[in-house]
Amino acid sequence: MTNTAYSRIARRLDAVRPSPTLAITARAAELKAAGIDVLSFSAGEPDFPTPEHICAAARRAIDEGFTKYTAVGGIPELRKAIATNIETRFGVRYGPAEIAVTVGAKHALFNVAYALYEPGDEIVIPAPYWVTYPEHARLAGADPVVVPTAAENRFKMRPADLERALGPRTRAVILSTPSNPTGAAYDERELAALAEVLAPTSALVVTDEIYASLTYGGFRHRSFVSVAPQMKDRVLLVDGVSKSYAMTGWRIGWVAGPRHFIEAILTVQSQATSNPTSIAQRAALEALVAPQDCVEEMRRRFEVRRDLMLEGLLAIPGVRCLAPDGAFYVFPDFSEVIAKLDPAARIGNDTELAAYFLEEARVAVVPGEAFGAPGHLRLSYATGEATIREGLDRMRKSLQKIHPAG
C-alpha cells in the first residue's frame, strides 16, 4: 500500500468552497481560449482602463526607484490620504494609526476575520451575500449565521431579522452597502434602526463599502459609522480603490477602525503578505488626492448600463428584477422561468441554468445559489453597452429553445 500521508490537506479547508464567480470566469476564459465567442456578465471588474493620471503616478514611482519594502500597514502619505477621504465622504475622523492598507479589500476582510474571529464565534451575514463572507468566517473557525432577506424589502435586513440572529456567541455583523450581488443599499434611516438593535450588544460591525461611490437614481450613500458615531469603537470600515477607480489588479484596499484592532490586523498581515506593493500604493495615493472627475464619469456610464440591463432582463417573460441602488450588478429572479422550462432540458435550478447559458448561449452569469439566493442569477453590467445588448439577446433566444411555448 502506498503511503499517502504526505498528501494530507488541512482540515480547515473542508468547509470552504472555492469562489464560484472565479470558477465561472475561468470556464469562460477556457472557452475563449478555444476560439469560442463568450460574453461575460460574471466578473465584478470594471471594463474601463485605470485613469491615466493614476498610471502615470505608478510610472513615476518606478522611475524614482520607489520599489522597496514599505511599512507593513502602508506608506504614511497613503494612510493620511485615506483618513482624509473617509472624513470627506463620511464625516468621520480616523488617524493614520487607525488605518491598515491591505492587498485589496478582500485581503482587508480576511485580515479582520483572522485577527478577530475565533472558533465558536458567530458572524451574522445577511443573504444574498458576497460569496467570500461566510468562507472567511469558516477559515477563522467561526460559524456564519445567515439571515435571509426578501425582494419585498429590497434584499435588506430588517431590525427584527437582525435581532433574531443575534446571540451570546455573536462576534460580528457584516453589512455590505451597496451590496454585491443585489446592488441594494441601506439609507440613513435603515442604518440607524440597525444601530439601535446593535447598540446594547458587544457585536462588532464590519462594513464593506467598496461600492460606496457607485450609486444611482439620486441615492445618497451613508456609512454605518457616520450614522452611529457612538459605535465607532466597534466598527471596522473596509474600502479600497478597485471598483471606483478601475484598479482591480492593483490590489489596494484598507480597513479603518480602533487602533488596537488595527494593530492586531497588521500582526496578521506582517506574517502573510507584509506590505502592499509599493508602486500600487503610490498609484492609490494619486487616485485619492487627485480630482475625482473620473469616478463620476464611470458612475454615470454605469447608471446608463444599469438601465439598459434592466430593460433587457424585464423583456424576458417571467423574469423579475429590482433596480439596484448601487454597485454594478443586477440580481434577477429566474424562478418562474426555470419552473416553466421544458423538462427535457433538465434544468431545475439556477446553477443548471447558468451552465446552460454558458454552454448554449455563450454567456457567463453566476448562479444565485452561490450568494445564498437560489433561483436568482447575478449579472454584472461592468461591461460595454453592445455586450449587454448582445448577451441578453443570446440569453433570450436560448431560452426560447427550451420553453414549451417556443
Q: What pLDDT, in 10s, does the model give residues 229-269?
A: 999 999 999 999 999 999 999 999 999 999 999 999 999 99
Between helix 105-116 and helix 259-270 the angle, nearest 10°, is 100
Task: Flag whether pLDDT at 1 surpasses 70.
Answer: no
Task: Flag whether pLDDT at 127 surpasses 50.
Answer: yes
The grid coordinates listed for 213 are 461611490
pLDDT for residue 3 = 58
Q: Which helix (H) or strand (E) holds 22?
A: helix 20-33
Quote the CA–CA distance of 190 and 202 in Å, as a whole number.
Answer: 20
Q: Are 122 and 133 in contact (CB under 8 A)?
A: no
Q: What pLDDT, in 10s, does the model give residues 159-198?
A: 999 999 999 999 999 999 999 999 999 999 999 999 999 9
Q: Are 302 and 326 in contact (CB under 8 A)?
A: no
Q: Which helix (H) or strand (E) holds 236?
A: strand 235-240
Residue 317 corresponds to which amino acid?
A: P
Choose the weakest-confidence range: 17-21, 231-235, 335-339: 17-21
Mean pLDDT calculated for residue range 278-288: 98
Q: What pLDDT, in 10s, does the model give residues 63-104?
A: 999 999 999 999 999 999 999 999 999 999 999 999 999 999
Quote the CA–CA distance of 87 and 94 in Å, as a whole number.
Answer: 7
Q: Is this structure's pTM higher than 0.85?
A: yes
pLDDT for residue 26 = 78
Please report which residue ranges of 177-258 form alpha helices under DSSP H. 188-198, 224-227
Q: C-alpha angle 144/130/358, rounded to 5°?
A: 125
Quote the CA–CA distance of 29 and 18 in Å, as a whole number.
Answer: 17
Report the percentage of the chain scoring pLDDT > 90. Answer: 89
- Residue 75: phi and psi, rounded to 5, are -70, 145
Domains and CATH numbers, the chain: 5-49+294-400 (3.90.1150.10), 53-289 (3.40.640.10)
Task: Flag whether pLDDT at 19 surpasses 80.
Answer: no
Between helix 132-139 and helix 105-116 the angle, nearest 10°, is 30
Choose the weakest-confidence range: 32-46, 60-74, 211-225, 356-370: 32-46
**Please, what is the average pLDDT of the chain?**
95
The grid coordinates listed for 125 are 451575514
